[in-house]
Amino acid sequence: MTKGIDRRGVLLAGTGGAFGLYSFAAGAAPATKQLKLRRKPGVKPKNILVILTDDHRYDAMGFMKAQDFGETPTLDRLARGGVHFRNAFVTTALCSPSRASIFTGLYAHQHRVVDNNHPIPPGLTYYPEYLQAAGYETAFIGKWHMGIETDSPQPGFDHWVSFKGQGNYLPHPDGLNVNGRHVPQKGYITDELTDYALDWIGQRDAKKPWMMHLAHKAVHSEFIPAERHKGRYDKETFRYPANMKPGVPGRPMWVENQRNSWHGVDYPYHGTLDIADYYKRYMETLLAVDEGIARIMDLLDQRGELDDTLILYMGDNGFMFGEHGLIDKRAAYEESMRVPILMRCPSLFGAGTVEHVVANIDVAPTMLAAAGLEAPDGLAGSNMLPLVTVSPASGGAAEVPWRKELMYEYYWERNFPQTPTVHALREDRYKYIHFHGIWDLDELYDLAADPHENDNLLARPGHEDLAERMSAKLFRLLEETNGMQIPLSADAGERNKLRDPNGPAMAPFPPSFFRPPHK
| DSSP summary character for residue 342 | E
**Strand ranges (DSSP E) for 54-109?**
83-89
**Rounded to 10 degrees, what is the CA torsion of 10, 16, 18, 20?**
-40
Helix axes of 363-370 and 95-104: crossing angle, nearest 10 degrees: 30
Full-model pTM = 0.93
Domain-embedded: residue 129: yes
Which residue range(s) make up the domain with 324? 47-404
Q: What is the pLDDT of residues 15-65, one digit of tens each?
A: 322 222 223 333 445 568 899 999 999 999 999 999 999 999 999 999 999
Is the pLDDT confidence value at 405 over 80? yes
Q: What angle do CA 121, 122, 123 make, to 5 degrees?
A: 120
| pLDDT above 70 coverage of the chain, percent | 92
Look at residue 495 in the predicted model and tell me its pLDDT.
93
Distance CA 161, CA 176 (A): 7
Look at residue 488 in the predicted model and tell me its pLDDT.
84
Look at residue 515 in the predicted model and tell me its pLDDT.
87
* Run of H or E including 81: helix 73-81
Domain-embedded: residue 436: no
Domain-embedded: residue 3: no
Assess contact for 214 and 143: CB atoms under 8 A: no
Distance CA 82, CA 114 (A): 32
Between 24-28, 78-82, 270-274, the lowest mean confidence (pLDDT) is in 24-28
Domains contained in the chain, number = 1
Assess contact for 26 and 1: CB atoms under 8 A: no
pLDDT-derived band at 11 (thresholds 50, 70, 90) equals very low
Look at residue 117 in the predicted model and tell me its pLDDT.
86
User: To the nearest whole number, what is the mean pLDDT of the chain?
Assistant: 92
Q: What is the pLDDT of residues 179-201, one digit of tens each?
A: 999 999 999 999 999 999 999 99
Is the pLDDT confidence value at 10 over 90? no
Q: How far separated are the first and last CA of the chain, in Å rounded?
A: 58
- In angstroms, how far apart are the furthest CA atoms of the chain? 85
Domain-embedded: residue 267: yes
| Burial of 439 (C-beta count, 10 Å sphere; 0-12/13-18/19+) | exposed
Chain-centre distance for alpha carbon 380: 15
- Tell me what the mean pLDDT of segment 79-99 comes to: 97
pLDDT-derived band at 286 (thresholds 50, 70, 90) equals very high
- The phi, psi pair for 80, rounded to 5°, reads -70, -40
Identify which of 217, 213, 215 has the alpha carbon closest to the alpha carbon of residue 188.
217
Domain-embedded: residue 320: yes
Domain-embedded: residue 32: no
Q: What long-range pairs does 385-388 form, CB within 8 A, spacing at least 24?
A: 385/348, 385/349, 387/83, 387/354, 387/356, 387/358, 388/83, 388/343, 388/348, 388/349, 388/352, 388/354
Is the pLDDT confidence value at 4 over 90? no
What CATH number is given to the structural domain containing 188?
Answer: 3.40.720.10
Assess contact for 181 and 149: CB atoms under 8 A: no
- Tell me what the mean pLDDT of segment 224-231 comes to: 98
Distance CA 507, CA 106 (A): 37
Domain-embedded: residue 266: yes
Domain-embedded: residue 485: no
Cα-Cα-Cα-Cα dihedral sign, residues 310, 88, 416, 364: negative
- Tell me what the mean pLDDT of segment 261-290 comes to: 97
